[in-house]
Amino acid sequence: MLDDTISQQAAALRRGDYSANELVTAYLTRIVAKNGTLNAYLTVTEQAALDGARAADAALADGSAGPLTGIPIAHKDIFCTDGVRTSCASRMLDNFIAPYDATVVMRLAAAGAVMLGKTNMDEFAMGSSNETSFYGPVRNPWDSQRVPGGSSGGSAAAVAAGLCAAATGTDTGGSIRQPAALTGICGLKPTYGRVSRYGMIAFASSLDQGGPMARSAQDLALLLQAMAGFDPRDSTSIEREVPDYTAALGGSLQGLRIGLPREYFDAGLDPAVGDAVRAGLAELERFGATLVDISLPHTHLSVPAYYVVAPAEASSNLARYDGVRYGYRCDNPADLQDLYQRSRSEGFGAEVKRRILIGTYVLSAGYYDAYYLKAQRVRRLIRNDFLEAFGQVDVIAGPTVPGPAFRLGERNNDPVAMYLSDIYTLAVNLAGLPALSVPCGLVQGLPVGLQLIGRDFDEASLLNVAHRYQQVTDWHLRRPPEA
């Protein structure tokens, strides 16, 4: 039952093939067996999960079950969970117990999902490998000497290794899609504003977006159905009707125009990854889709623009962690200046401090116009590229990652090489568009992903394309050898 998709588990629970208690217990047992190696979970809420399973079984028995009743999920440790530690994988919040649930957490619980615990991540979601966590790196279940990707690497590894049926993640520059690709699962970054950010601890407020991670596109549709929708508590939430994502699955691809940006198939792409992506696109052609060559000419500026905008917003958002109100506080400060200085220098890790310094610099009076304002103008050009492309095509496709998962520690001393791991995902966040990654092959025995990018609020089309692809391929059914 642990190898089943969410839709299969939901059907089995309703038929009575097994109980929610049996399903949750099986996952908890697997977590005990595997998490010591993978380090995917930071907190396991065993008793709450068992209580939730009993409530789910009662709902299944009396006919009041929701669409996700009894489905065991995990939450990235960036979502606030009432009464449960929410650390953002940082020493700064190591002792922080959230006093409320994030909207995403509440909505999934209302749909019947059972929380198993909180997953590891890059500290404050800053990283591309899940090596910046205060609690140590997450390991890729396909090869424990390799990274799972970041920043949602704990969620990705947990789903891939069968430590939960699905998980939440956040995507600021590819942090759902990139780890999904590197661990052989599916991950969706919704349109900015589609999923509430209330209770999701901020990294870069104009880029952050929560989304689902699971084994199939159909599972993503079920999860997004529960997560999406307007939230008056989130000023960035968009008041727009949420379609029935599952009803759109199975639609015809005849005549669908799929754009292939030439910038996504350049010299920086591993040739074997390119071959896997092209093989995936050939399957879509067999459904009647048409491949169209397009250009996104400002793609090469997405990395520098992102690494001005994101650190600037991080610098502002993380200013609240000062050792006074909550979070880490240094011992025996000599004065207020010492309290601020040591609490922040001891509480934050190296990558977070690097980005705070960069962000503070680009926002300073002498450099705001030269860096931050210019980056925002480039951001507009990047979005315009996409809007122009969508005048010619319906969906844009390409690789999610340039290559398969790299070895732990391989890029720790080369931040630029680390940042380039997200070269194909960053522009989507800068433009605010929806995108997802689905497994499309193995390179050196490691999974890689096909990325699909859509128009604003057109997640349904992306999910349909991904679902049709998965009807004729089995990459999403492959399981890691170490799982």
CB atoms within 10 A of CB 163: 31
- Mean pLDDT, rounded, of the chain: 97
Q: Is 151 a catalytic residue?
A: yes
Question: Per-residue pLDDT for 482 more than 80?
Answer: no
Q: How much is the pLDDT for 172?
A: 98
Using one digit for the tens of pLDDT, what is the confidence trace for 67-90? 999 999 999 999 999 999 999 999
Average pLDDT of the segment spanning 207-228: 98
Question: 192: pLDDT confidence band, cut at 50, 70 and 90?
Answer: very high
Buried b / exposed e over 438-450, threshold 16 CB at 10 Å, is: bbbbbbeebbbbb
Average pLDDT of the segment spanning 382-410: 97
Question: 296: pLDDT confidence band, cut at 50, 70 and 90?
Answer: very high
Q: How much is the pLDDT for 218?
A: 98
Q: Is 189 a catalytic residue?
A: no
* CA quadruple 231, 457, 236, 189: dihedral sign: positive
Provide CB contacts within 8 A for 69, sequence distance 6+: 10, 13, 20, 56, 59, 60, 111, 112, 113
Using one digit for the tens of pLDDT, what is the confidence trace for 313-363? 999 999 999 999 899 999 999 999 999 999 999 999 999 999 999 999 999
Question: 267: pLDDT confidence band, cut at 50, 70 and 90?
Answer: confident
Catalytic pick among 19, 87, 128, 175? 175
Query: Which DSSP helix (H) or strand (E) runs through 436?
Result: strand 435-443
Query: How does strand 446-453 pair with strand 395-399?
Result: antiparallel
Phi and psi of 109, rounded to 5°? -65, -40
Catalytic pick among 151, 196, 315, 437? 151
- 98: Cα within 13 Å, side-chain hemisphere: 21
Residue 369, amino acid: D
Q: How much is the pLDDT for 97?
A: 97
Instruction: Output the pTM of the full model.
Output: 0.97
Catalytic pick among 7, 34, 76, 129? 76
Q: How much is the pLDDT for 425?
A: 98
Q: How much is the pLDDT for 369?
A: 94
> What secondary structure letter does DSSP report for 164?
S
Average pLDDT of the segment spanning 354-375: 96
Q: How much is the pLDDT for 208?
A: 98
Residues of the chain with pLDDT > 90, as a percent, come to 96
Question: Per-residue pLDDT for 15 more than 70?
Answer: yes
Q: Is 206 a catalytic residue?
A: no
Question: Per-residue pLDDT for 420 more than 90?
Answer: no
In the chain, what are the domains? 6-256 (3.90.1300.10)
Question: 476: pLDDT confidence band, cut at 50, 70 and 90?
Answer: very high
Q: How much is the pLDDT for 483?
A: 66
Q: Can the peptide bond before residue 151 be classed as cis, meaning omega within 30 degrees of 0?
A: yes
Using one digit for the tens of pLDDT, what is the confidence trace for 144-187? 999 999 999 999 999 999 999 999 999 999 999 999 999 999 99
Question: 118: pLDDT confidence band, cut at 50, 70 and 90?
Answer: very high
Question: Per-residue pLDDT for 415 more than 90?
Answer: no
Q: How much is the pLDDT for 199?
A: 98
Phi and psi of 219, rounded to 5°? -65, -40
Distance from chain centroid for Cα 412: 21
| CA neighbor of 276 nearest in space, from 422, 444, 48, 440 | 440
Average pLDDT of the segment spanning 386-407: 98
